[in-house]
Amino acid sequence: DRFPAASIHGIDASAESIKAAESMGLQGVTFHFSESARLPFADGAFDLVYSNGTFHHIDHGKHAAVFAELRRVLAPGGHLFVFENNPLNPLMVRGMRQNPFDAGTKMLFPWYLRRVVRGARFTARAPKYYVFFPKQLKGLRWSERYLRSVPVGAQYYVWGTREA
C-alpha cells in the first residue's frame, strides 16, 4: 500500500512455501522457487532486500556466499534488512527448540550476523532489538522504541547498505 509502484519478488527453496504464497493472490508480487546459490535476478536489480527468519535455516558455512549474492542483486545505495530470532532471549530460544520447523537449525548471534554482513562489503549498522513484551503485555509495546539497543528483545535486525 505504501509503495504502489514497487515490483516485489519473493524467493524460497521450498516449493510448498512458494505454492502457499501464490495462493494468497497478492497483487504486484512474483514468487520464485530456487534452490540455486545464484539468484535468478540481474546485477543491481533491487533497491531493497528483506529477509526474515531465513538465515538460521541456512548452513553457516554458506552465509558469506549468500550475502555476496545478495550484494550482487542489490543496487548501489540499496538497503539490506535481515531479521532473526535473538539467541540472547531465553524465551525465544525455548520457543525455537519446541518448534519442529526449527529442528536442526542454529541461531545467529547479532554480532555474528553483523560481521558476516560487513564481510560481504555492506556498511552494517549495529543490531536493533524488538518484541520485548509478549502479547499479554502489549500495552507496554509503545516503549519498545526506547529499548532498541537492549539486546534481550525476542528478535533483532541488522541493516546493511551497499555503498553507491
Q: Is 35 exposed, middle or buried (0-12, 13-18, 19+ CB in 10 A)?
A: exposed
Q: How far apart are alpha carbons 126 and 142 in whole angstroms?
A: 22
Tell me: pLDDT of 8 over 80: yes
Average pLDDT (9-28) is 94
Query: ∠ at Cα 66 (61, 68), nearest 5°?
Result: 115
pTM of the model: 0.92
Average pLDDT (41-69) is 96
How do residues 92-103 score in pLDDT, each as one tens digit? 999 999 999 999
Q: How far apart are alpha carbons 101 and 97 in whole angstroms?
A: 9
Q: pLDDT at position 18, please?
A: 95
Average pLDDT (18-31) is 94
